[in-house]
Amino acid sequence: MAAHPWVRRGYSAALLALSPLVWRRVWRERLPHRPRGERLGRVPASGPDARTLWLHCASVGEVQAARPLIEALARRHPDHRLVVTTMTATGAERVQALAETLRGRPAHGEVSHHFVPLDFPGAARRFVDRLRPQLAIFFETELWPNLLAACDARGVPVAVVNGRLSPRAFRGYRRLGRLMAEALSHVSWLGAKSEADAERFRALGMATDAIRITGSLKFDLADDDEAREASVRLRRRLGERPVWVAGSTHPGEDEAVLEAHVRLRKTRPEALLILVPRHPQRFDAVAELCLRRGLAMARRSAGEWPQAGTAVYLGDTMGELTDLYGAADLAFVGGSLVPVGGHNLLEPAALGVPVLTGPELANFTEVAEALREREALVEVADAEALAEALARLLDDGEARRRLGAAGRGVVEANRGALARTLAGLARLLPAE
């Protein structure tokens, strides 16, 4: 029995009172031909003999990080349907692209997508009643009290995988005290990324005996031969000019990246920046920003190709960041020059591409530390420092080789979270 079910009633009342604001926030997060009723749990009902696993990821970054787990579950349970839910439309598109890839592989279960219901009590109950999963898996910090309670009430075991709580997130959740303790009482098993994350979950009320330290799934990046081949083709077309990528950039950061590129081109006028904003709704705004800086630009979404005088190649497409990283001499990972907390440093590292980052890495503390220990990370404070680091590394091929090899070594040395996670999940599934 949950320790404080009454606090969830207060939470639900507050959420219902705020429902106009909630609806306005998610209204744009949709795909054509997908009913908005999914946000209220109105998904097709599973048949009585259906075998369903449910994995929830917040958005595109979490889907990408969960890809090794998604592929492993589809491979290990070919007689199950794996439903992946997301909050955002970009996450949905990434799931659909992955599902299409897996559809062509033999002996893999079906992967499909629904939007996660809003955490209203009725929507949560309806979703779980219709989906009827045998196991619910929540990725990282997606802790929705009513969804967790609906699973528990219907006998659906709940797991949290790649569990992480940054100090900032922990402070926010701790203010919700009893509500979070009640929510976590419905979790059967939690695979924490680190001992520090495990300790924060314990402080919120998670039972100690239900927590295991699994490490980060981000290190278990799936080998993608198609992406590697795409990178090779792209680099061949770009030629011998210096190329660097700035991936997953945010407002305020694009300006710094472009300033660094302008500085770099004073001594390397042939240098090309591949700029990939984090959110697609900002693609046009970033294109305007490039033009205002007087930088000749080609847009990937328009089928344009960088010419000799092109300064910026705008990566305004979805699902191609890995391909673009693999075609570069250097990779700057965004969300790190602004207070966002950083993004996945391991994507370029796994490809052997030297990694640069800003100082804001709260979401990737353990990953950053692992890279630092092997001297596989270049950290810069601002646009000027970024330009200087780019120029120095582009002039030193041996330094780039060392950085790239060290980063790839970190990824290889830290693999194993996937196997530990799958072992934990297997104990929650009914015997075949």
Burial of 362 (0-12, 13-18, 19+ CB in 10 A): middle
Rounded-to-integer distance, Cα 146 and Cα 182, Å? 10
Rounded-to-integer distance, Cα 357 and Cα 366, Å? 14
CA 305-309-315 angle, to 5 degrees, is: 40
Buried b (16+ CB within 10 A) or exposed e, 187-209: bbbbbbbbebbbebbbebbbeee
Residue 6: how many other CB atoms lie within 10 Å: 10
Q: Is 106 helix (H, G, I), strand (E, B) or coil?
A: coil
Residue pair 374/353 in contact by the 8 Å Cβ criterion = no
Residue pair 194/165 in contact by the 8 Å Cβ criterion = no
Q: What are phi and psi of 217, to 5 degrees?
A: -65, -20
Which CB contacts under 8 angstroms, 24+ apart, belong to 34-40?
A: 34/92, 34/115, 38/114, 38/115, 38/117, 39/115, 39/117, 39/118, 39/123, 40/117, 40/118, 40/120, 40/122, 40/123, 40/126
Q: Beta strands 243-249 and 330-333: pairing type? A: parallel
Q: Mention every residue, 6+ apart, whose C-beta is less than 8 A from residue 416.
A: 215, 219, 220
Q: Mention every residue, 6+ apart, whose C-beta is less than 8 A from residue 107.
A: 75, 78
CA 108-110-111 angle, to 5 degrees, is: 110
Residue pair 188/427 in contact by the 8 Å Cβ criterion = no
Is 62 noted as a catalytic residue in this protein? Answer: yes
Closest to 339 in 3D by CA, of 423, 253, 210: 253
Rounded-to-integer distance, Cα 296 and Cα 307, Å? 9
- Of the candidates 38, 62, 253, 347, the residue annotated as catalytic is 62
Q: Residue 309 has which token pair?
A: 């005088």
Catalytic positions, written as ranges: 62
